[in-house]
Amino acid sequence: MDKKQRAFKVLLVDDEDIFREATARQLTVRGFIVQTAASGEEAIAQVNADPPEVVVLDQQMPGLHGSETFIAIKKIDPLIEVIMLTGNTSVDNAIELMQMGTFDYLMKPINIDELLYKIEDAYTRKKLNEKQQREAGQPRPLQS
Amino acid sequence: MLKKLATFSKKFFFLDQEERDPVLHAEEVEALRLAFKSRYHSFKLLLAANNRILEGMADIERALQGNEPFSMSFVQTRCTAISVNVFRMINDMENIAPGKYTALKDSFVAIQKRIDTLLGARKQIADRRLVIPLESLSSKMIDLVGGKMANLGDIKNTLHMHVPDGFAITAAAHEMFMQADGLQREIDRLFQVAGSDEDRNLDLVSSQIRQLIMAAEVPEPIYLAVVEAYSRMKEAMDGQEIRMAVRSSAFGEDTENTSFAGQYRSELNVSFSQFFYYYKQVMASKYSVQAIAYKLSRGFRDEDIAMCVGCLAMIDAIAGGVIYTQNPLDNKDDAIYINSTWGLPKAVVDGNDLCDLFVVSRDDNLTIQRREVQNKGYQIVCLEGEGCIRTETDDVLAAKPSLTDAQVLDLADHAIRIEQFYETPQDIEWAIDIEGKVSILQSRPLQQLEAVLPGPDLDLKRFESSLLAEGGINASPGVASGKVFKVAKKVDILQFPEGAVLVVEQALPAWAPLVARAAAVVSEQGGFAGHLANVAREFGIPAVFGVKDAMGRLHNGDSVTVAADLGRVYLGNIGPLLEWTRPEPKLMLGSPIFELLKEVSRHIIPLHLLDPESRDFAPQNCGTFHDITRFIHEKSVLEMFSFGKDHHFSERSSKQLHYRVPMNWWILNLDDGFTHEIHGKYVKLEEIASIPMLAFWDGFAAIPWDGPPAMDGKGMTSIMFRSTMNTALVPGIKSKYADRNYFMISRNFCTLSSRLGYHFSTMEAMVSERSGENYLGFKFKGGAADFERCLGRVHFIRDILERYGFRATVNGDNLDARMEGHDMDYMIGRLKILGYLTLHTRQLDMIMGTSGLVTYYMNKLTKDIDSLLTEAP
């Protein structure tokens, strides 16, 4: 994708201010329209108010946990693709999250290019799913 | 003739097309296009996941060579990354061929369960006793009381040597202590918060955890059990209060390959009123900075180490020290090495002073071979009240041997008996009291190194002008060079640069964390029996101790060469000396984390599904993640192929390459591989937009093939393409992917399956702006000649590929070559090479018997390739 094609909305959710702001800046420079949220609750409000195409979601947050936030987002719109971020010490439920239908899974510290590719891929997937859903005329259920 | 056929086929083709196309409505075409796009996107994601799995497996294989330290988080993150990506591949496969391979999920779940069981396994302690007296201990109880106390049990109860009275506080007690008030949970949390093993602030975590342990209450059951054991000891001593040595006896400590030398706390001359304070100090020392660093570098998890504690009645030692029952620096030397000093043996192991050395040979009478009596300026003695002190020894005593000949022989006798009992060389700590009685305080396996002699033409005289210091003690053999970095205070540790030569005044255990990062160690004080020497030998770092005025004579930043075997330090990098190397120790081998990874890798790495043609090539036969990966990769390529073939959808049906003439190459466009939609039967080269395919074709068409067969004068073009020209221009609709030369392409992807002559090859390439996802795979098999010649060609091709940066392996007559992660230009160059080789290795199997011809072709091919690569793209 070139910079122009990346002009879609990405919601970045992380309670760690420094990481969130730095990553948001890096993604903005690369052309994305970046929204941020510092908690799961904030993220859900944001998705309701102004839905993004792709969500990048930290797993470990005080308050609403990453996986709970993920489920809530998918309930609002099952077509939104979610990429999970985790610290490398909590890897236990990676598979569980994949089974619930997260698009992919990245371990911190992240490589910004890798995140960029994942966001692009998630967006492509979302657009394909939307078109296919329109063809079929029915919504795609949550993967189980 | 060819023209005629082409014209004929053109007519045929248009007829054919008119029959099909009108059937599809615009919406149907759009739906099919979308289906293709969606499948291709899944395929692309699948390939990227496949690559990440291969990388993860390569990381694990590298780790299992045992040369580099790795932590538990390495094991966890690699396993998780692989699991996640295998799961991804299964999901993507489901999108490509819905419902067709659901059995893969069952295989996945079964494998994942086996891995989870291994990763989650915890050691269970069956014996719940909290305190066990020394009289009841033996080396069968290592899991209960740690190696140090278990071995002392043998020496006291089986060998009937004198060991001070005492008891062990067990692993069950450690567990109870750590579980009480959620202490362990809090420690785990502190580790997590501090970040990854590689970049956490060790000083901070270490001090937080130690404070936590020191603030904890000793649980009542432990307290009562200790009081009871102590009361019994006291009774036996007619009610006298007993001072104790409180020492660590942790799991993994004092074993053959891992010494944990000097990592943990030991406290001498402790009164009972202070006992629990020091008990906690020993427990806390599991989290000292050096212990955490050591654990990481040697492959121990936190939970692998139960901190058992030994309590022994204090010996008022006149002399003490360490016996090596054989030479640690030379496994062919079985003489007994007795290190000795005045006072407690602590002075010897702490390495801050010099000590005497007596070497006893094992002839019938035990002969004292060598006596090296040093000036022992200081000794460590028990204080009247509590604790110990390092005091100056008076000058007369300092210069005298710390042992009589009779005592030396008595100790040698003890040493031999202990060694015979354990059947391996031992490292024994001992003390002699005022009555001359020998007490054994510890015995553990001794790690022995192989002596490596210098090459025969090493002439030391040449370097004499660069000699900075000589006469040092070889504490750990080897030669290394680096820049001098002097460490005098703890704060210097933080500044220590990786690969520097560590120069210290005293060989203190506190410097241990630096040893693994240093090129070599030089110390003014200390002997080869100290903790630091032990650590240096364990890590294979050369060390010279007893170098007079090293701190004054060596200057920070100067390059020096440390030749430990010679006890010398030279200025500058002395090349010929540095060639005197020895194999690096494999530090991770046998450690708990290493063993765990090895176990886990058995469910990840082995490949059982080798032959796609075999009946066993099925989802339910996938026993490892590698099997699943291999299966999916194979099937996904075929599914993508047949999806194109099965849908009579002209813009996605396979096209025949038309390059001046119709060629025997078919092309299936997966997504955006053509410059525009092609409705006809043929596709021209200039209509192809696939970067990897065009690069391959560039290499294929660059240089004409000149034999065999010999040129027949019909011009370059005809010869060049003879092999790939088709005479029957009508493609069989149902032909299998492997039967022809098929390209499947998109803008950034290309896979080629080709049968040229009698060999079969496949090529797969992803080339885009995403350098990290770029890869190139090439497989080659078979030939018309006999097996040996085919093999010759396979090796011939491997040699060429390796020369140009491929990783290539040969298995039977299968060649498998790969490369990944390079930028677009580089990948394009490598694809040209593959294109070139595809044409030019044809029938080369025929000449593999003639070495002159092999050399000729090797030269020709590499020359051609070099010219291909230098051409402007």
pLDDT of amino acid B732 = 36
State the smallest CA–CA distance between residue A134 and chain B in angstroms. 10
pLDDT of residue B227 exceeding 50, the answer is yes
CB atoms within 10 A of CB B392: 9
Q: Dihedral sign, CA of B52, B56, B57, B61?
A: positive
Pairwise pLDDT comparison (B261 vs B42), residue with the higher score = B42
% residues pLDDT > 70 (chain B): 90
Which chain A residues contact residue B45 at CB under 8 A? 121, 125
| Burial class for B140, CB neighbours closer than 10 Å (0-12, 13-18, 19+) | exposed
pLDDT of residue B231 exceeding 90, the answer is yes
State the smallest CA–CA distance between residue A35 and chain B in angstroms. 25
pLDDT of amino acid B94 = 94
Secondary structure (DSSP) of B13-41 = HHHHHHHHGGGS-HHHHHHHHHHHHHHHH
A22 CB contacts (<8 Å, ≥6 apart)?
Answer: none
B560-585 burial, b at 16+ Cβ within 10 Å, e below that, comes to bbbbbbbbbbbbeebebbeebeeeeb
Report how far residue A104's alpha carbon sits from residue B88's, in angstroms, rounded to the nearest whole number. 8
Query: Per mean pLDDT, which range of A54-68, A86-100, B726-740 is the poorest?
Result: B726-740
- Tell whether B770 lies on the interface with A, counting CB pairs under 8 A: yes
- Tell whether B73 lies on the interface with A, counting CB pairs under 8 A: yes
Query: Smallest Cα–Cα separation from B593: which of B197, B290, B210, B308?
Result: B197
Query: Per mean pLDDT, which range of B552-566, B628-642, B752-766 is the poorest?
Result: B752-766
pLDDT of amino acid B708 = 56
Mean pLDDT of B208-216: 94
Interface contact flag, B80 A90, Cβ < 8 Å: no
pLDDT of amino acid B10 = 41
Asked if B46 and B53 touch (Cβ cutoff 8 Å), the reply is no
pLDDT of residue B21 exceeding 50, the answer is no
pLDDT of amino acid A86 = 82
pLDDT of residue B731 exceeding 80, the answer is no
Interface test with A, best of B25, B36, B38, B59 (most A CBs within 10 A): B38
Closest Cβ–Cβ partner in A91, A132, A143 for B77: A91
pLDDT of amino acid B199 = 66
Interface contact flag, B192 A95, Cβ < 8 Å: no
State the smallest CA–CA distance between residue A98 and chain B in angstroms. 7
Closest Cβ–Cβ partner in B48, B73, B84 for A94: B84
Interface contact flag, B77 A107, Cβ < 8 Å: yes
pLDDT of residue B12 exceeding 60, the answer is no
In this predicted model, what pLDDT tens digit does every residue of B701-723 receive, in sequence order?
888 877 653 333 333 343 344 44
- How many residue contacts between A and B have a Cβ separation below 8 Å? 61
- Tell whether B193 lies on the interface with A, counting CB pairs under 8 A: no
Q: Is B669 left (phi over 0), alpha (psi -120 to 50) or beta?
A: beta
pLDDT of residue A102 exceeding 60, the answer is yes
Closest Cβ–Cβ partner in B30, B83, B192 for A95: B83
- Tell whether B119 lies on the interface with A, counting CB pairs under 8 A: no
Which chain B residues contact residue A94 at CB under 8 A? 80, 83-84
Which residue carries 């040493």 as its tokens? Answer: B415
Q: How far is CA B566 from CA A65, B470, B478, B533, B562, in A?
A: 62, 8, 9, 16, 9
Mean pLDDT of A122-140: 82
Which chain A residues contact residue B31 at CB under 8 A? 135
**3-class secondary-structure state, position B568:** strand
Closest Cβ–Cβ partner in B35, B44, B196 for A88: B196
Which chain A residues contact residue B30 at CB under 8 A? 135
Mean pLDDT of B87-105: 94
Domain B131-197+224-286+303-313 part of CATH 3.90.1570.10: no
Q: Which fold has domain A4-136?
A: Rossmann fold (3.40.50)
Task: Please give the helix or strand (H or E) that residue B846 lies within, else none.
Answer: none
Long-range contacts of B272-280 (CB under 8 A, 24+ apart): B272/B230, B272/B241, B272/B242, B272/B244, B274/B386, B275/B226, B275/B230, B275/B244, B275/B246, B275/B311, B276/B218, B276/B223, B276/B226, B278/B246, B279/B169, B279/B218, B279/B226, B279/B246, B279/B309, B280/B213, B280/B214, B280/B216, B280/B218
Highest mean pLDDT, choosing among B379-383, B514-518, B747-751, B755-759: B747-751
**3-class secondary-structure state, position B124:** coil
CB atoms within 10 A of CB B467: 15
- Tell whether A98 lies on the interface with B, counting CB pairs under 8 A: yes
Report how far residue B194's alpha carbon sits from residue B196's, in angstroms, rounded to the nearest whole number. 7
DSSP B587: T
- Among all residues of chain B, which has the CA nearest to that of A96? B84
The pLDDT-based confidence of B5 (bands split at 50, 70, 90) is very low
In this predicted model, what pLDDT tens digit does every residue of B116-129 receive, in sequence order?
899 887 767 788 99
CB atoms within 10 A of CB B201: 11
State the smallest CA–CA distance between residue A133 and chain B in angstroms. 11
Interface contact flag, B192 A87, Cβ < 8 Å: yes
State the smallest CA–CA distance between residue B769 and chain A in angstroms. 9
Mean pLDDT of B194-206: 76
pLDDT of residue B651 exceeding 70, the answer is no
Which chain B residues contact residue A31 at CB under 8 A? none
Query: Per mean pLDDT, which range of B111-120, B247-256, B418-427 is the poorest?
Result: B247-256
State the smallest CA–CA distance between residue B824 and chain A in angstroms. 15
Which chain B residues contact residue A89 at CB under 8 A? 73, 76, 191-192, 196
- Tell whether A117 lies on the interface with B, counting CB pairs under 8 A: yes
* B592, two tokens: 């708990």
CATH of domain B317-433: 3.30.470.20
% residues pLDDT > 90 (chain B): 49
pLDDT of amino acid B727 = 35
pLDDT of residue B512 exceeding 70, the answer is yes
Which chain A residues contact residue B191 at CB under 8 A? 89
Provide the residue ranges of all domains of chain A, joining segments of one domain with +: 4-136
pLDDT of residue B214 exceeding 70, the answer is yes
Which chain B residues contact residue A143 at CB under 8 A? 91
Which chain A residues contact residue B37 at CB under 8 A? 128
pLDDT of amino acid B437 = 94
Pairwise pLDDT comparison (A137 vs B339), residue with the higher score = B339
pLDDT of amino acid B535 = 87
* B14, two tokens: 């248009």
Provide the residue ranges of all domains of chain B, joining segments of one domain with +: 131-197+224-286+303-313, 317-433, 461-578, 651-870
Indicate the average pLDDT of chain B.
85
CATH fit for domain B461-578, picks 2.70.70.10, 3.30.470.20, 3.50.30.10, 3.30.1360.20: 3.50.30.10
Interface contact flag, A91 B196, Cβ < 8 Å: no
- Tell whether B81 lies on the interface with A, counting CB pairs under 8 A: yes
Interface contact flag, B34 A128, Cβ < 8 Å: yes
Mean pLDDT of B656-678: 87
pLDDT of residue B219 exceeding 50, the answer is yes
Query: Smallest Cα–Cα separation from B685: which of B677, B676, B694?
Result: B694
Which chain A residues contact residue B41 at CB under 8 A? 121, 124-125, 128
Closest Cβ–Cβ partner in A105, A129, A131 for B84: A105
